[in-house]
Amino acid sequence: MRTLATTNLSGPVTEFILLGFPCRREIQILLFVVFSLIYLLTLMGNTSIICAVWSSRKLHTPMYILLANFSFLEICYVSSDVPKMLANLISQTKSISYTGCLLQFYFFFSMCAAEGLFLSVMSFDRFLAICRPLHYPTIMTHHLCAQLVIFCWVGGFLWLLTPLTLISQMPFCGPNTIDHFLCDLAPLLALSCTPVTEITLTCGIISSLIIFLTFLYILGTYCCVLSTVLQVPTGLGRQKAFSTCASHLAVVSLFYGSVMVMYVSPGSGDYHGMQKFVTLFYALATPFFNPMIYNFRNKDMKEALKKWVGGSG
């Protein structure tokens, strides 16, 4: 049986060892149970949003169509890394093939990029609804909504093609141990046999661009929304407008807060414990909280969920 000790390898690396959470066996089993429960609740919560939107004609609007696609993205997002993490918690080898590692990196970060694009499109939808209410029905049509959904999905996966291609051309000859629970960019770059300054710079620019461009766009749209809301004469109208945006802003804060701590804060990559914790937060906790944020704060969604549960019961 292979051990976790590694290793200068005599040939090219064919697999990596994901150290994950090195601790006593009892603690690993406890983590497995906790993470499994969170994973299942995440799947159930996001699936409930999709089913509620699908079953309620009242929710067949661009806002909720975007939300349903966002929930499906969260299911794919959390499933790209958590099952392997759970398997490694109860496994002795904790290995992942070279191809599997590259695919995990590509799918996880492609969906991370797609999430930023979806959050931007959802903020655009709220901007139109609040700042251009009379033009909203003619601008945000179902046709445009479908185009935006395709843009988010395709854009996220195209954005990561260049980093994937660059990493696949890097030579790995050992050691092959990744002190993480997934194939993240920084640990992979650190394992290259040769200096990869240009690749590191290129990948850093690409990842930073998607983070900052989408974040700045969302920030700009909500500055416009806030300015419009403050001009609403009645307190009730102002409260309704704030309530409409509160759920989306909470999700934006959770996602970008953790991502920026991870990839933008100076020296964040130097502390493996913090690196794992922050990655775990936006990889597992954010998709877990999203359904609760949207379901608890949205009256139409709560009513649709009650009808769906009652109809399926």
For the stretch 236-273, pLDDT in tens is 566 766 666 777 788 888 888 877 776 655 444 445 56
SS (HEC) of 176-243: CEECCCCCCHHHHHHCCCCCCHHHHHHHHHHHHHHHHHHHHHHHHHHHHHHHHHHCCCCHHHHHHHHH
Task: For the chain, give the percent of residues with pLDDT over 70.
Answer: 86
Residues found in the chain: 313
- pLDDT per residue over 56-107, tens digit each? 888 899 989 999 999 999 999 999 999 999 999 998 888 999 999 999 999 9
> What Cα–Cα distance (Å) separates residue 62 from each residue in 69, 129, 200, 219, 220?
11, 11, 39, 21, 21
Closest listed residue to residue 184, CA positions, set 18, 23, 31: 18
CATH of 15-307, one of 3.40.50.300, 2.40.40.20, 1.20.1070.10, 3.90.550.10: 1.20.1070.10
- pLDDT per residue over 105-125, tens digit each? 999 999 999 999 999 999 999
> What Cα–Cα distance (Å) separates residue 83 from each residue in 93, 157, 179, 198?
15, 21, 18, 33
Looking at residue 241, its pLDDT comes to 66
Distance, CA of 194 to CA of 206 (rounded, Å): 21
For the entire predicted model, the pTM comes to: 0.88
Per the CB < 8 A criterion, the answer to whether 81 and 182 are in contact is yes
Q: Which amino acid is at 283?
A: A
Distance, CA of 267 to CA of 269 (rounded, Å): 5
Looking at residue 199, its pLDDT comes to 87
- pLDDT per residue over 164-184, tens digit each? 999 998 888 878 899 889 998
CA 290 to chain CA centroid, Å, is: 11
Distance, CA of 65 to CA of 195 (rounded, Å): 46
Tell me the sheet residues that pair with 17.
95, 177
Looking at residue 240, its pLDDT comes to 64
The domain spans of the chain are: 15-307
